[in-house]
Amino acid sequence: MLTDIKARAAKPAEKVYRLYDGGGMYLEVPPSGNKRWRLKYRVNGKEKRLSLGVYPNVGLKEAREKRDELRRLIAEGIDPAAQRCPQKVAPTADSFEMVAREWMDLRSPAWAPRHLSTTCQRLEAYIFPHIGPLPIDQIGPLDVLNALRIVEKRGAVEAARKTLSICSQVFRYAVASARIQSDPCRDLRGALKTRQPGHYAAIVDPKDVGALMRAIDGYSGAMVVRCALRFLALTFVRPGELRAAEWNEFDMERRIWTIPAHKMKKRREHIVPLSTQALAVLRDVRATAPRLNSPMVFQSVRLRSDRGLSENTLLVALRSLGYGQGTMTAHGFRAMASSLLNGLGYNPDVIERQLAHIEGNKIRAAYHRTEYLEERTAMMQAYADYLDSLRDSMPPR
């Protein structure tokens, strides 16, 4: 392990040499004497190096913080070098990124905050790193397709399809504003994979649920992702509702999470009673949050972002635990809860209300956010206890 004293005392030699600190980080000392922090890491089997700044402008403590932040990205399968690529080319006024942000500024006043956040996340995660700096009039169908193929390979087929739709809207705006002649996305119809119809994959057998909960507890990636998976299991909200969660929605004393109507699929405010276990997860999240002033509960693992986790992060985490899309999805925690709770004999109406399923029947649709709240509160605590019991029930050897 390096110390500030060792870093300051390092003198240049005839050849470049390195002083290693740990976690792949080292101080490079060239003959010129201009010391620089670097990080060595591997992504997809390839060794890469990334600059963390010049010493002493960037001190040892700051370099370690940068290293730890980048390691969180790498643990999620994200190449931090790729995230920095767009910064190497200054976007012009008519680059794809600049036109896309102009389009969002124009359209966003009519959007729900959740829709704006999701749209921006998809562009920043999937598109800007690849075609963001390019002049929009020089982008062809293949450029867009190559970017979306990367998303498909991660298993996020639906995310790729929705991102294509967003790109098409940006290009159509560029046509309307006389920047290009046509939308290149029109030529990509049928080029992407389609999600197989049917329900989201979910684990419903109690023994398999126990194994899943043990796997989540043993997840070695970013702490915020492990907490998000556990919280999703305990609350079985929709993944988008979890990713958009903000601290001001939680009343820790009353043990409830009130999700605003604009964040709900059915546009109705929804109350989630919080079990003792769910409260413990929230405390863990807050204690380990990389950005203490962020309003987001489950903060993005990307650098310098105040947004929530991306939709692909939970999918990648589940896959890293051995649960592919055909086995378990983030949305599958809802089906898992429904199956287990019905099997435990709980009132189906109470379960459906907690799932925020609103029936079309006019009489049944007389919805009130506190309906069955006492029963739901007891059910959520019992469900959390049940998940713990399944997790702790190791199968016989």
- Taking each continuous run of H as one helix and of E as one strand, the counts in the chain are 16, 7
Q: What crossing angle do the helices spanning 206-217 and 373-392 adopt, rounded to 10°?
A: 80
Task: Choose the catalytic residue: 64, 114, 238, 243.
Answer: 238
DSSP 8-state secondary structure symbol assigned to residue 324: -
The answer to whether 386 touches 345, Cβ cutoff 8 Å, is no
User: d(Cα 50, Cα 41) in Å, to the nearest integer?
Assistant: 8
User: d(Cα 284, Cα 227) in Å, to the nearest integer?
Assistant: 8
Task: Choose the catalytic residue: 66, 67, 243, 331.
Answer: 331
Which strands sit side by side in the sheet containing 256-259, from one edge to the other? 250-251, 256-259, 270-273
H-only helix segments in 15-112 = 60-75, 80-84, 96-107
Dump strand ranges (E) for 46-191: 46-54
Token look-up 């976007």 returns: 91
The answer to whether 58 touches 21, Cβ cutoff 8 Å, is no
Task: Choose the catalytic residue: 64, 226, 307, 334.
Answer: 334
Known active-site residue 331 = yes
User: d(Cα 164, Cα 145) in Å, to the nearest integer?
Assistant: 9
Task: Choose the catalytic residue: 84, 357, 364, 368.
Answer: 357
Residues 6+ apart with CB under 8 A from 328: 201, 202, 203, 212, 318
The separation between the first and the last C-alpha atoms of the chain, rounded to the nearest angstrom, is 42
Token look-up 């790498």 returns: 74
Known active-site residue 334 = yes
User: d(Cα 121, Cα 127) in Å, to the nearest integer?
Assistant: 10
The answer to whether 228 touches 298, Cβ cutoff 8 Å, is yes
Task: Choose the catalytic residue: 17, 367, 372, 386.
Answer: 367
Known active-site residue 26 = no
Positions marked catalytic: 238, 265, 331, 334, 357, 367
